[in-house]
């Protein structure tokens, strides 16, 4: 990954001349002193950089994997770590909101959901109020997956100026970033230009279970008077150009369970005489999507909003090439060659991915087992105008139909594990405009306005329940490897990301309208 | 599993009246004192039972998983444990035969193969010489797979009179059994009626790599003068009737690796725009075998020896029912209803099993990963007259062809991980006749003459290199769950198995011919 990263960076430097941008960036910061009165905050962020890296290191050390029940105590421990940091910086009204028991499928029926961390900084009725959302849970990771260093130890690569750890970019880095911004304002001797409310959850990587209900519950209580919501849980499209994001795909995650024998069996003794669940499962999984990426479930494509000429034009100006995709994927395995096709299939068309199989042999070596019960995991990224519940019905009916044709004596059950809706916003509203100014100030370029292929399930709930706009303000780059091995956050993105957050608070505070 | 076991046992007691057999067994032992002069050895085995269980407990405590490179030091530790036991009992000429470096695919290029443990008990040129083979390595196991107790701790269930642990029946129990038999003869004041050579390997569960070469090398050295080989690494067909085994299927184990992106990717960002290795892999795996167990690779069935009328009749008298299979599999998922069809598909027809996928998501929960490199694991159980090398070519050509039709930008490679040939012997030779008498003495019934679906790769090599007959003398039952969770060995099978081994040594010693 390191080689690819370097190549991608080099080609980008040559292509867009980012060294020139850095010069113009410095000039801009100086010339815009009048319109951005908090230059000292930027200096303080630079000064405190070592401490901010250290804090991130402490945070990512806690393996807060929400998808692994056995690690649930670690998720809770990380919530308590955040509370300690909030207290240290001076946040008030800190509350750990408990969300109750996790619904099935779970191993432990009494498994408690991790708490949502709410807190305030400032409560001045003359100021606007911004809710910042992030999540402190992370995807699973283990060194054996192929990491260069321990995933739950922040490794600072001085040469490449990056920080490697699970959660560094998704989403612990941005969460700690907000803490640091408030600390920098405070230590620079400034009041925060807005009232800030934090909403940090611990189940985002597992479907944000329970958060919807909390937002409904607190909309007129803790969140009363919110003017805007800012979410930092996404990434630049590429590796050099900042973006603001106004659309997200949703995600419906499914599990097909095929069950036969009472326990795993020896393939020598039972091979050829009993119906093997794995044999049935690959037939079901193989019927969902073809090698060209086409979803084979009847009725799914019919729900997708048709592409208008106006929308098609939006994709023309975006700074993105096939090389960017190849650099990010570390391969030449794109299904499309044209950048416009790539972006449309990432942003406005659904996709179906096969994630893996639980219950079968999954280690190195050669185990001659016939797995008794296997769970095939797959998900569909959803887009306008797909109906989530209708989709579930189509998926389950499809799997049942394919399995039934096999005439297998095993049993098959397909279920939704979690879902999150797609989301689309207006990229020209007050909040996006403020974020655009902040980005220009810090990076010296106008951000690309993009959508994203990934989902942040709670975006839509915030918009609807708090009746405010939601802004997606990314900190990391497109090659950060969220959910992958060697997840990283460039130190420059950490620092400039905090500066962008700091400036956004100002520009939003002084803008007319919400 | 415990409930099923009880039900199976109860139904068996009613059906074959095993309580009556127990009465006749006792009568037989008394009446046959003249022909079996070592009654004291049986008494000693009964007396030392607690110690013998204790020794097995110490042996299974060592997680000697040959398929897991990280546990290789444990495999070696177990070899040293055996050496200590051999010394204690009085074996001589104990040698740890090193087999060199393990060939690829391996993570560690310098990985050493575990040693073969050779030793002797007695070296009297007037006595016949028997080589006993077993293996001290085991299949992978972890409590999280669903074991009722820790797999590497011997759990003695006093109520059900069984011992549960990985390796209890496959194959640590029988290996320790041979030690115990020698100790029982010694402590009863008898000379062993034969010279015994032990050959215990540590790679059986991973293809017996290196053992072939050692047997070739030592055929005229350590193994010089061997009259017969006895292998205890198989099981009864059912749960009450002892068997002797004269045939085994072989096993060719394959891995199909599909590789695309440079690292695992986030399905939100990359779903729908890159070719996913998992999507290709399920197409390849799905093309190998259908849900009825039919192998779909062209040319494989053509290599199978046709069924003669004479052979078909051999299956008529065997004590086996569909209920036995269902009890053993813990389900009603048999592909055939007729016992004869079941036995033929277990013993004389090939089968193809899908074991799992390495490299994909395999845990509980919902990880939205696009795996970058996935290895599909499958194996084919081989039978007369299949040619192993021709089979490899057919399998690889098939996978390549299916993958090529997908027109995927990923790469696909199918390779053989290990193979072991099938084997057929003459069940009426001197060694089988001696074992049949021993079984009758201990159990009071003639053993069924069976073949097995599983493979013991080294059987054929012993037969060819030592130019002797090979006998398969099982200790455990058909429901022991070798390679599965909750692997067990009934205490009665442990004790009676040792008695059968002890009596076999006598009957073989006094028989005419080899």
Arithmetic mean of pLDDT over chain B = 91
What pLDDT is recorded for position A14? 26
User: ∠B467-B470-B472 over CA atoms, to 5°?
Assistant: 170
What pLDDT is recorded for position B311? 82
Count interface pairs A-B at CB distance under 8 A.
Answer: 384
Separation of alpha carbons A320 and A326, rounded Å: 11
Cβ of A369 within 8 Å of Cβ of B355? The answer is yes
pLDDT single digits (tens) B448-499: 989 988 877 789 899 999 999 999 999 999 889 888 899 999 999 999 999 9
What pLDDT is recorded for position B38? 87
Residue of higher predicted confidence among B94 and B13: B94
Nearest to B361 among A206, A356, A406 (CB): A356
Percent of chain B with pLDDT over 90: 81
DSSP A506: H
Find all residues with CB under 8 Å of A75, minimum gap 6, and list them.
Answer: A64, A65, A66, A114, A136, A137, A202
Count of Cβ atoms closer than 10 Å to residue A1 Cβ: 17
Which chain B residues are within 8 Å of A368, Cβ to Cβ? 139, 251, 253, 353, 355, 379, 483
Which chain A residues are within 8 Å of B267, Cβ to Cβ? 251, 351, 353, 355, 379, 381, 454, 483
Separation of alpha carbons A198 and A501, rounded Å: 14
What pLDDT is recorded for position A340? 93
Active site residues of B: 137, 204
DSSP B424: E
B365 interfacial to chain A (CB closer than 8 Å): yes
pLDDT single digits (tens) A191-223: 999 999 999 999 999 989 999 999 999 999 999
Residue entry with tokens 């209580």? A221
What pLDDT is recorded for position B104? 84
CA of B117 vs chain A CAs: smallest distance (Å)? 23
B residues 15..34 contacting A (CB < 8 A): none
CA of residue B179 relative to chain centroid, distance: 19
B residues 453..492 contacting A (CB < 8 A): 453-455, 478, 481-486
Nearest to B355 among A140, A330, A360 (CB): A360
B residues 32..61 contacting A (CB < 8 A): none
Give the pLDDT band (50/70/90) at residue B7: very low
Give the pLDDT band (50/70/90) at residue B180: very high
Give the pLDDT band (50/70/90) at residue B121: very high
Separation of alpha carbons A11 and B376, rounded Å: 36
What pLDDT is recorded for position A37? 85
pLDDT at B72 over 80: yes
- β-bridge mates for residue B40, sequence order: none
CA of residue A108 relative to chain centroid, distance: 27
CA of B261 vs chain A CAs: smallest distance (Å)? 5
Measured in degrees and rounded to the nearest 5, phi and psi for residue B467 equal: 50, 45
Instruction: Give the sign of the dihedral formed by CA A168, CA A169, CA A173, CA A175.
Output: negative
Best of A107, A171, A266 to substitute, by most chain B Cβ atoms within 10 angstroms, is A266
Separation of alpha carbons A66 and A63, rounded Å: 9
Residues of chain A with pLDDT under 70: 1-34
Residue A376, helix vs strand vs coil: strand
DSSP A423: E
pLDDT at B69 over 60: yes
Q: What is the rounded average pLDDT of the residues B430-437?
A: 96
Cβ of A253 within 8 Å of Cβ of B366? The answer is yes
Cβ of B206 within 8 Å of Cβ of A365? The answer is yes
Residue entry with tokens 């979410």? A231
Separation of alpha carbons B295 and B289, rounded Å: 4
Three-state SS string across B215-243, please? HHHHCCCCCCCCCEEEECCCECCCCCCCE
Q: What is the rounded average pLDDT of the residues B236-252?
A: 92
How many Å is the maximal CA-CA distance in chain A?
81
Give the pLDDT band (50/70/90) at residue B314: confident
If you measure CA to CA, which chain B residue comes closest to A479? B265
Does B233 show up as a binding residue in the annotation?
Answer: yes
Question: In terms of Cα–Cα distance, which of B206, B173, B145, B168 is closest to B485?
Answer: B145
Does B346 show up as a binding residue in the annotation?
Answer: no
Give the pLDDT band (50/70/90) at residue B316: confident
Best of B234, B365, B382, B419 to substitute, by most chain A Cβ atoms within 10 angstroms, is B365
B residues 321..350 contacting A (CB < 8 A): 325, 328-336, 342, 345-346, 349-350
Nearest to B364 among A69, A367, A409 (CB): A69
pLDDT at B5 over 50: no
CA of A480 vs chain B CAs: smallest distance (Å)? 10
Cβ of A346 within 8 Å of Cβ of B273? The answer is yes
ipTM given for this complex: 0.74
CA of A31 vs chain B CAs: smallest distance (Å)? 37
Cβ of A355 within 8 Å of Cβ of B336? The answer is no
What pLDDT is recorded for position B106? 87
Q: What is the rounded average pLDDT of the residues B330-340?
A: 96
Count of Cβ atoms closer than 10 Å to residue A449 Cβ: 17
> By CB neighbour count within 10 A (0-12 exposed, 13-18 middle, 19+ buried), where does B100 fall?
exposed
| H or E element that contains A121 | strand A116-121
Which chain A residues are within 8 Å of B379, Cβ to Cβ? 267, 271, 366, 368
Find all residues with CB under 8 Å of B296, minimum gap 6, and list them.
Answer: B287, B288, B289, B290
Count of Cβ atoms closer than 10 Å to residue B285 Cβ: 26
Q: Work out the angle between the directed axes of helices B277-286 and B388-406 (0-180°, nearest 10).
A: 130
Separation of alpha carbons B247 and B456, rounded Å: 10
Burial A392-407 (b: 16+ CB within 10 A, else e): bebbbebbeebbeebe
Q: Which residues of A are annotated as a binding site for Mn(2+)?
A: 135, 170, 205, 233, 483
Continuous H helices in A232-360: 267-270, 277-286, 309-314, 322-329, 339-347
pLDDT at B136 over 70: yes
Separation of alpha carbons B280 and B302, rounded Å: 28
If you measure CA to CA, which chain A residue comes closest to B272? A351
Cβ of A263 within 8 Å of Cβ of B484? The answer is yes
Cβ of B279 within 8 Å of Cβ of A289? The answer is yes
If you measure CA to CA, which chain B residue comes closest to A264? B484
Burial B151-182 (b: 16+ CB within 10 A, else e): bbebbbeeeeebbbbbbbbbbbbbbbbbbbbb
If you measure CA to CA, which chain A residue comes closest to B381? A268
What pLDDT is recorded for position B107? 86
Measured in degrees and rounded to the nearest 5, phi and psi for residue A401 equal: -65, -45
Separation of alpha carbons B459 and B461, rounded Å: 6
What pLDDT is recorded for position B449? 86
What pLDDT is recorded for position A237? 86
Separation of alpha carbons A80 and B138, rounded Å: 43
Does B483 show up as a binding residue in the annotation?
Answer: yes
A268 interfacial to chain B (CB closer than 8 Å): yes
Cβ of A454 within 8 Å of Cβ of B269? The answer is yes
What pLDDT is recorded for position A236? 92
pLDDT at B382 over 90: yes
Sheet holding B488-490, edge to edge: B155-157, B162-164, B488-490
CA of A400 vs chain B CAs: smallest distance (Å)? 15
Q: Which residues of A are annotated as a binding site for substrate?
A: 233, 266, 368, 381, 455, 483
Q: How many Cα atoms are found within 13 Å in the side-chain-facing hemisphere of B248?
A: 26
Residue B65, helix vs strand vs coil: strand
- Give the C-alpha distances (Å, rounded to integers) separating A360 from A67, A187, A277, A420, B277: 19, 54, 9, 28, 18
Cβ of A269 within 8 Å of Cβ of B346? The answer is yes
A108 interfacial to chain B (CB closer than 8 Å): no
Active site residues of A: 137, 204
> By CB neighbour count within 10 A (0-12 exposed, 13-18 middle, 19+ buried), where does B190 fall?
middle
Q: What is the DSSP string of B33-56?
A: TTT---HHHHHHHHHTHHHHHHHH
Separation of alpha carbons A48 and A38, rounded Å: 16
Q: What is the CA radius of gyration of chain A?
A: 24
Domains defined for chain B, CATH in brackets = 35-248+423-510 (3.40.630.10), 250-305+348-420 (3.30.70.360)
What pLDDT is recorded for position B1? 23
Given a contact cutoff of 8 angstroms between Cβ atoms, the answer to whether A167 and A138 are in contact is yes
Best of A143, A257, A268 to substitute, by most chain B Cβ atoms within 10 angstroms, is A268
Best of A111, A208, A333, A459 to substitute, by most chain B Cβ atoms within 10 angstroms, is A333
What pLDDT is recorded for position A11? 29
Count of Cβ atoms closer than 10 Å to residue B392 Cβ: 17
Instruction: Give the sign of the dihedral formed by CA A270, CA A273, CA A276, CA A282.
Output: positive
What pLDDT is recorded for position B318? 86
Nearest to B485 among A263, A290, A363 (CB): A263
Cβ of A485 within 8 Å of Cβ of B264? The answer is yes
B260 interfacial to chain A (CB closer than 8 Å): yes
B residues 127..146 contacting A (CB < 8 A): 139-140, 145-146
In B359-396, DSSP assigns E strands to 369-370, 373-382
> By CB neighbour count within 10 A (0-12 exposed, 13-18 middle, 19+ buried), where does B393 fall?
exposed
Question: What's the first-to-final CA gap in chain B, in angstroms?
Answer: 42
Q: What is the rounded average pLDDT of the residues B356-379?
A: 95
Residue B101, helix vs strand vs coil: strand
pLDDT single digits (tens) B502-511: 999 999 999 9
Which chain A residues are within 8 Å of B455, Cβ to Cβ? 268
pLDDT single digits (tens) B23-63: 334 434 444 433 788 899 999 999 999 999 999 999 999 99
Separation of alpha carbons B472 and B4, rounded Å: 28
Count of Cβ atoms closer than 10 Å to residue A260 Cβ: 27
If you measure CA to CA, which chain B residue comes closest to A139? B367
User: ∠A31-A32-A33 over CA atoms, to 5°?
Assistant: 95
Q: Which residues of A are annotated as a binding site?
A: 135, 170, 205, 233, 266, 368, 381, 455, 483
Residue A181, helix vs strand vs coil: helix
Separation of alpha carbons B62 and B77, rounded Å: 7
What pLDDT is recorded for position B102? 95
Cβ of B251 within 8 Å of Cβ of A368? The answer is yes
């Amino acid at each position: 990954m390191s080689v690819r990263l370097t190549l991608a960076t080099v080609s980008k430097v040559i292509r867009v001349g980012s060294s020139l941008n850095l010069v113009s960036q410095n000039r801009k910061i100086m010339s815009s002193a009048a319109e951005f009165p908090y230059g000292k905050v930027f200096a303080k962020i630079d000064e405190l950089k070592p401490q901010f890296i250290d804090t991130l290191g402490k945070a990512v050390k806690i393996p807060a994997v929400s998808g692994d029940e056995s690690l649930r105590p670690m998720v809770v421990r990380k919530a308590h770590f955040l509370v300690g940091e909030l207290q240290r910086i001076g946040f008030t009204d800190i509350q750990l909101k408990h969300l109750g028991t996790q619904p099935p499928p779970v191993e432990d029926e009494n498994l408690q959901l991790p708490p949502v961390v709410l807190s305030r900084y400032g409560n001045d009725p003359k100021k606007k109020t911004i809710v910042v959302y992030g999540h402190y849970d992370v995807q699973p990771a283990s060194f054996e997956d192929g990491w260069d260093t321990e995933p739950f130890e922040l490794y600072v690569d001085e040469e490449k100026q990056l920080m490697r750890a699970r959660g560094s970019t998704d989403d612990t880095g941005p969460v700690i970033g907000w803490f640091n911004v408030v600390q920098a304002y405070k230590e620079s001797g400034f009041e925060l230009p807005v009232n800030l409310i934090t909403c940090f959850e611990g189940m985002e990587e597992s479907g944000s279970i329970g958060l919807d209900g909390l937002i409904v519950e607190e909309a007129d209580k803790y969140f009363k008077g919110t003017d805007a919501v800012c979410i930092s849980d996404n990434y630049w499209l590429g590796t050099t150009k900042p973006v603001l994001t106004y659309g997200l795909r949703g995600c419906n995650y499914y599990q097909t369970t095929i069950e036969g024998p009472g326990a795993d069996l020896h393939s020598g003794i039972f091979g050829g005489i009993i119906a093997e669940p794995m044999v049935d499962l690959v037939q079901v999984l193989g019927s969902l999507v073809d090698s060209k990426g086409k979803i084979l479930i009847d009725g799914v494509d019919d729900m997708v909003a048709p592409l208008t000429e106006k929308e098609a034009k939006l994709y023309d100006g975006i700074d993105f090439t096939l090389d960017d995709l190849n650099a990010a994927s570390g391969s030449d395995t794109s299904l499309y060659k044209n950048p416009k096709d790539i972006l449309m299939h990432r942003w406005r068309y659904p996709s179906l991915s096969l994630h893996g199989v639980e219950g079968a042999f999954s280690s190195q070596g050669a185990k001659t087992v016939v797995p008794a019960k296997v769970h095939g995991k797959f998900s569909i990224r959803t887009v306008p105008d797909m109906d989530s519940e209708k989709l579930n019905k189509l998926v389950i009916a499809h799997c049942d139909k394919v399995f039934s044709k096999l005439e297998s004596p095993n049993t098959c059950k397909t279920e939704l594990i979690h879902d999150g809706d797609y989301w689309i916003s207006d990229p020209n509203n007050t909040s996006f405009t403020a974020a655009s100014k902040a980005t220009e100030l810090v990076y010296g370029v106008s951000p690309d306005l993009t959508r994203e292929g990934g989902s942040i399930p709670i975006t839509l709930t915030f918009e609807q329940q708090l009746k405010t706009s939601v802004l997606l303000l990314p900190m990391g780059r497109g090659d950060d490897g969220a959910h992958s091995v060697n997840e990283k956050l460039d130190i420059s993105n950490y620092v400039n990301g905090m500066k962008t957050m700091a400036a956004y608070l100002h520009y939003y505070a002084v803008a007319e309208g919400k």
